Amino acid sequence: MEMAGARGGRPRVGLVPTMGALHAGHQRLIDLARAECDVVAVSVFVNPMQFDRDDDLQKYPHTLESDIELCAASGVDVVFTPTAAAMYPAPPNCTVDVGRVADHLCGRHRPGHFRGVATVVMKLFQIAQPDRAYFGEKDAQQLAVIRHLVSDLNVPVDVVAVPTVREPDGLALSSRNQRLTPAERRVAPALYEAIGVARQQIEAGIVDATRVRQAATRVIEQRQGITLEYLEIVEPVEMQPVDRVDHPVIAAGAVWVGSTRLIDNVLCVPPPASPKRTGKGGS
Ligand code: AMP
C-alpha cells in the first residue's frame, strides 16, 4: 500500500460520507478507510436536499453522541458535522444535474433525490479534498451516480465500493431499521429474500428478465405488511433495465414496511453461455 512516505510526505485522506445513526455497515466503510488512508474523515450530515418527503427528513434518526463515540473508537481523525445552514447558507444556484443513471429505481421514485446526493457529495469532496471516498454497495444506484459524477466532472477522487453488511437473517443494515416495530422487523427480510430469488433464477440460467422479476415480486406480494415500490433487473453501470440477462446484472428493490422505506440489491451473475458448436474438431 502506498502511504505518506511514498507520496512525497502528503498524507492520504479518506472520506466516509454518512447521514449518521452509524451502524456496523458504516463501520465497515470506516475500517477500510482506516486501513488504506493516513487521515480518515467521516461526515455526518442529514442532507435536506436529497429528501423528497418532508416527513422522512423529520423522522430521520439522529444519534450524534454515539456516532462520535463510534468514530473515536474506530480511530477516525475528523468528524465533520455541519449544520444545514452552514452547508446551504442560501438556496444554491448551482447544483449537480444527474442524467440517465437516475432514470430508474430510486431516481424514478424519489424525484430530485440524486441531484441532492450528487450536489452534497461534490460539496463534501471540495471541503475535505479526499484522495479516496468510501461508499456502500447497499446503495447501488448512489454508487453508480458517484462513479459518473467523478468521471464526468474529472473529480480527482478514487471511489471505493464496500460490500453490504447484513443482519443474520439477511436484512441489510440501515439507519432506517431503527424505526421498525418488532412486527415490521420480522417481515423486513422479505426484500432480501425476493432479490435472492432473482439471483437464484439468474444463476440457474433464466435469461428472461420479466420472468425473473415476476418470480421475485411474488415473494413480496405474498406477504402481509410489506408493499413493493419497485423491483428491477438493471445493468450495473448505467442502471438501465435489461430484457435479457446475458451479463452480470443487479436485482434492486424498494419496499415500504409501515411508514419506513427500505432498499436493497444483489449482484446476479448468469452462468457462462454454453460454447457454440462449430462443427469442427472434437471426436
Ligand atoms: P447513509 O448514512 O445511510 O447515507 O450511508 C452512508 C454510507 O454507508 C453510504 O455509502 C451507504 O451505502 C453505506 N452503508 C449504509 N448501510 C450499509 C450497509 N448495510 N453495508 C454497507 N454500507 C452501508
For ligand 1, whether the C-beta of 128 sits within 6 Å is no
Would you place residue 56 in the very low, low, confident or very high pLDDT band (cuts 50, 70, 90)?
very high
Return phi, psi of residue 119, to 5°: -65, -45
Q: Per the structure block, which three cell numbers stand in for 122?
A: 461534490
Active-site residue, 26 included: yes
% residues pLDDT > 90 (the chain): 93
End-to-end CA separation in angstroms for the chain: 51
Nearest CA to ligand 1 atom 11: 136
C-alpha 205 to ligand 1 mean position (Å):
31
Nearest in space to 170 (alpha carbons), one of 279, 266, 73:
266
- Encode pLDDT of 253-264 as tens digits: 999 999 999 999
- Please list, in sequence order, all residues whose beta carbon lies within 8 angstroms of the beta carbon of residue 268, skipping any fewer than 6 positions away: 198, 199, 202, 203, 233, 245, 248, 249, 250, 251
* Nearest residue to 173 via CA among 15, 14, 29, 16: 29
Specify the pLDDT at position 6: 56
Question: Measured from the CA of 138, which atom of ligand 1 is nearest?
Answer: 12
β-pairing verdict for 249-257 and 13-18: unpaired
Assess whether the C-beta atom of 164 lies below 6 angstroms from ligand 1.
Answer: yes
pLDDT of residue 281: 42
Tell me the CA–centroid distance for residue 84 and ligand 1, in Å. 20
Q: How far is the CA of 283 from the centre of ligand 1 (A)?
A: 54
User: For 65-91, what is the mean pLDDT?
Assistant: 98
> Rounded to an integer, what distance in angstroms lies between the CA atom of residue 135 and that of residue 125?
13
Q: Is residue 45 in contact with ligand 1, taking CB distance under 6 Å?
A: no
Share of the chain above pLDDT 70, in %: 94
Angle at 142 between CA 200 and CA 261, to 5 degrees: 70
Comparing 78-82, 133-137, 227-231, 269-273, the range with the smallest average pLDDT is 269-273
46 Cα to the center of ligand 1, angstroms: 13
φ, ψ of residue 189 to 5 degrees: the values are -65, -5
Q: What is the largest CA-CA distance in the chain?
A: 76
Which pLDDT score, from 0 to 100, does residue 175 have?
96
Look at residue 283 and tell me whether its pLDDT is greater than 80: no
Cβ 25 under 6 angstroms from ligand 1: yes
CA of 164, closest atom in ligand 1: 20
pTM comes to 0.94
Asked if residue 1 has pLDDT above 50, the reply is: no
DSSP-assigned states of every residue in 118-140: HHHHHHHHHHH--SEEEEETTSH
Tell me, using a 6 A CB cutoff, whether residue 172 lines ligand 1: yes
Residue bearing the CA closest to ligand 1, atom 14: 136
Residue nearest to atom 12 of ligand 1 (CA): 136
Pocket test residue of 23, 29, 135 for ligand 1, highest count of atoms within 8 A of CB: 29
Alpha-carbon gap, residue 134 to 15, rounded angstroms: 6
| pLDDT class of 8 with cuts at 50, 70, 90 | confident
User: Is 19 near ligand 1, meaning CB less than 6 Å away?
Assistant: yes
Distance (Å) from CA 274 to ligand 1 centroid:
38
Average pLDDT over residues 47-75: 96
Which numbered atom of ligand 1 lies nearest the CA of 16?
7
Non-local (6+) Cβ contacts of 168 within 8 A are none
- Cα torsion at 232, 233, 235, 241 (round to 10°)? -60
User: Band of the pLDDT at 7, cuts 50, 70, 90?
Assistant: low
| Centre of ligand 1 from the C-alpha of residue 281, in Å | 52
pLDDT at 194: 98
- Answer yes or no: are the C-beta atoms of 78 and 39 closer than 8 Å: yes
Cβ–Cβ < 8 Å for 172, 164: yes
- Does residue 39 sit in helix, strand or coil? strand
pLDDT of residue 273: 82
Residue 9, pLDDT score:
81
Using CA atoms, how far residue 102 sits from 40, 110, 118, 135, 141, in Å, is: 29, 10, 11, 17, 8
Fill in the amino acid letter for 269.
Answer: V
Instruction: Find the mean pLDDT for residues 236-252.
Output: 98
Encode pLDDT of 156-211 as tens digits: 999 999 999 999 999 999 999 999 999 999 999 999 999 999 999 999 999 999 99
Q: Whose CA is nearest to atom 10 of ligand 1?
A: 135
42 lines ligand 1 (CB under 6 A): no
- Mean of pLDDT over the chain: 95
Of 124, 184, 162, the closest CA to residue 24 belongs to 162
Letter string b/e over residues 229-242, b meaning 16 or more CB atoms within 10 A of that residue's CB: bbbbbbebeebeeb
Nearest CA to 270 out of 208, 182, 189, 192 is that of 208
The arrangement of strands across the sheet holding 227-234 comes to 227-234, 249-257, 260-268
